[in-house]
Amino acid sequence: MLQNNNTSALVEPDACAPALHIMEELLKVVQQLSATHDLQAVMDIVRHSVRELTGSDGATFVLRDGEFCYYAEEDAITPLWKGLRFPMEICISGWVMRNRQPTIIEDIYHDDRIPIDVYRKTFVRSLAMVPIKTNDPIGAIGCYWSKVCRPTAEQVQVLHVLADTAAIAMDNIGYQESIASQARQLEEAIDGTLLTVAKMVELKDPYTSGHQRRVGILSYDIACELGWDKKRCEMLRRAAIVHDIGKIGIPGELLTKPSKLTPQEFGLIQTHAAMSYDILKDVHFLMPIAKIILQHHERLNGSGYPHGLTGEQILPEAKIIAVADVFEAMTSHRPYRPAPGMDAALEELLQNKGVLYDPGVVNALIRLVREKNYCLPE
């Protein structure tokens, strides 16, 4: 990004602290659910986490029981429907499961799907509900507010992450599968969670929608070109698809600013690498990823950030993401400039090969593009 010396008002980093806290806590909850082998424990974790992470007044964990919705667990400011069963055709959780899609209701008294008599004696005025296992729902997670409001996209994403991870935990409880199969399912849960987390970042910066996913694909393909084993390539891909997770702690107006950034603004954006590390470092199965992400803006000659590392001090995985990140960014439009294009991206990498970027990584990318007609997906 280009800089100038103009001054402008900045949102203090502390203003983004709630978003960072939510991200950190959400990843801890995913870790808890992944290690849980008891249905009651899964429901307890989810109902408590929904309220804490969304700031809602109530949460329910609903199980499908044939053609009925069983409100198995709840956490709310006053009692809701714990222990009760309702026919699917008259219940909003039933609607979510039958239609295999989430719903948001800003005012329950203005939605024909709501059984008003059931809700009238409760505090509920607004709600969000998502299915557990979208393809073949086995339940639903509900989130409720005592005042008329519209849940934010971030709050709904939190529900999706919890529902997806709960689905994997419930599958593991219900079926005695091989260790290999359970490991595969855990990897799928991690992948789904990381992709959802990436989308949460993109909600703040819609201009870079898909950037992290594409960097993940390109990083994986470069590593394969270098002859890395599949497991290592997969870990790299996972790191790359959340390499900008720390941007959730950066004011959105800076990420989408169409004009040049001031030095102060650019310095604030540079903190995202360290923020990414802080978010992921305490999640044990993401620890290698956290360190890779921390270093993806380091450069061979020490001119990068946050620590000015040089040469072999930088992880090989971080060197790959650095090249993939630059290539994807320069071939994509940004609010502050049009896409320079593929030729310009390759020229940047070749001119700075061995100075900023690892020569072997750059050469691998060049082979993919020039010899194998490689194209990034949309």
pLDDT by residue for the chain (378 residues), tens only, comes to 333 334 334 434 444 556 677 777 888 888 888 788 788 899 999 999 999 999 999 999 999 988 889 999 999 999 999 988 888 888 999 999 999 999 999 999 999 999 888 898 899 999 999 999 878 899 999 999 999 999 988 889 889 989 988 988 888 776 334 445 555 666 777 777 777 777 777 777 766 668 888 999 999 999 999 999 888 899 899 899 889 888 888 887 777 777 788 888 888 888 888 988 888 877 655 667 889 999 999 999 999 999 999 999 999 999 999 999 999 989 887 766 778 888 999 999 999 999 999 999 999 999 999 888 888 777
Residues 291 and 354 in one domain: yes
In a domain, 106, yes or no: yes
Element (H, E) at 85: strand 85-87
Does residue 348 form part of some domain? yes
Q: How many domains in the chain?
A: 2
Instruction: Return phi, psi of residue 212, to 5°.
Output: -65, -40
Q: Does 254 lie in the same domain as 151?
A: no
Answer yes or no: do 159 and 263 share one domain.
no
One domain, residues 110 and 161: yes
Separation CA 261–CA 329 (nearest Å)? 17
In a domain, residue 10? The reply is no
Residues 255 and 316 placed together within one structural domain of the fold: yes
Enclosing domain of residue 166: 37-176
Q: Which residues, other chains included, contact 311 with Cβ-Cβ below 8 Å and sequence gap of 6+?
A: 300
Question: Which has the closest alpha carbon to 320: 227, 255, 248?
Answer: 227
Residue closest to 198 by CA, chosen among 185, 186, 213: 213
Instruction: Pull the structure tokens for residue 122.
Output: 């409760």
DSSP 3-state helix, strand, coil percentages of the chain (rounded to 5)?
Answer: 55, 10, 30
What CATH code is carried by the domain that includes residue 307? Answer: 1.10.3210.10
Identify whether residues 165 and 238 lie together within a single domain: no
Give the residue from 157, 176, 195 where a domain finishes.
176
Same domain, 42 and 157: yes
Does residue 21 lie within any of the structural domains? no
Do both 163 and 218 map to the same domain? no
Residue 361: φ, ψ to 5°: -70, -45
Specify whether 43 is located in the same domain as 171: yes
Among 176, 195, 214, give the residue marking a domain's end: 176
- Measured CA to CA, the distance from residue 283 to residue 289 in angstroms comes to 10
In angstroms, how far is CA 196 from the centroid of its own chain? 4
Asked if residue 102 belongs to a domain, the reply is yes
Q: Measured between alpha carbons, how far is residue 31 from residues 179, 265, 273, 280 in Å?
A: 18, 34, 22, 11
The reported pTM is 0.61
Residue type, 170: M
Domain end among 135, 161, 176: 176
User: What phi, psi does 243 have (nearest 5°)?
Assistant: -65, -20
164 and 231 together in one domain: no
Q: Are 118 and 148 in contact (CB under 8 A)?
A: no
Asked whether residue 190 is assigned to any structural domain, the reply reads no
Residues 341 and 218 in one domain: yes
> Which residues lie below 8 Å from residue 260, measured CB to CB, with a gap of 6+?
1, 2, 3, 4, 6, 336
219 and 161 part of one domain? no
66: left (phi over 0), alpha (psi -120 to 50) or beta: left
The enclosing domain of 91 has a CATH number of: 3.30.450.40
Residue 23 in domain: no
Domain assignment present for residue 100? The answer is: yes
CB 351 within 8 A of CB 362: no
